[in-house]
Structure 1
Amino acid sequence: MIKTIALIYLILNVIGFYLMKLDKEKAKRNEFRISEKNLWITAFLSGAAGMTLGMKTFRHKTKHVQFKWGLPLLALLEAGLLLYLVIQLS
């Protein structure tokens, strides 16, 4: 059970990282972008850490206060929840 939760967490963070990369590339090419709503849905589904890393790596959405502060805070909350679940299930 713990391995499954950790795997899901990892996959969602890889997806979040990739979405930030993809949206940055689309922004550079003036293409149709990924909506902020979809980015936040991914973040709330436990992808916030990957999205935070992607935001910093690709310098994307760094001027948006909600992303600049919200994603790292959500990532910390999700990591705390994951740690709590691992402790409880051990």
Structure 2
Amino acid sequence: MKLYEIILSYLLMINIFTMYTFFLDKSKAKNKKWRIKESTLFLLSIAGGSLGALLGMKLFKHKTKHWYFKYGIPFILIVQIILTAYVTVRFRDL
């Protein structure tokens, strides 16, 4: 298995998990139950799940009014796209 395949597999899994976490937090908010910390949501985004976070925000209408999510998650996504493209091109033969 090549490095870019491993990276893409990881990104797929972390994004699905992050989107599910946004869904879970929105469900908990509706039912007035214990919530997932915002720092956890951001850490999942930074760990590679920014696309899943952005999709979760849009699909579940969750955290869309908080400026730090509204602008922070897209910023993280742009940085991750640049890094992923760089690593994929730089190390494509591994």
Query: What TM-score comes out, normalization by structure 2 length?
Result: 0.93
Where has structure 1 moved over 3 Å in runs of 4 or more? none
Residue 29 (str. 1) matches residue 31 (str. 2): yes
Runs of 5+ unmatched residues, structure 1: none
Instruction: Report the equivalent of 1:5.
Output: 7
**CA separation in 1, counterparts of 2:78 and 2:59?**
18
Larger Cα-atom Rg: 2
Alignment RMSD: 0.7
Instruction: Report the equivalent of 2:47.
Output: 45
Query: What TM-score comes out, normalization by structure 1 length?
Result: 0.96
Amino acid at match of 2:87: L
Runs of 5+ unmatched residues, structure 2: none
Amino acid at match of 2:33: E
**CA separation in 2, counterparts of 1:76 and 1:13?**
15
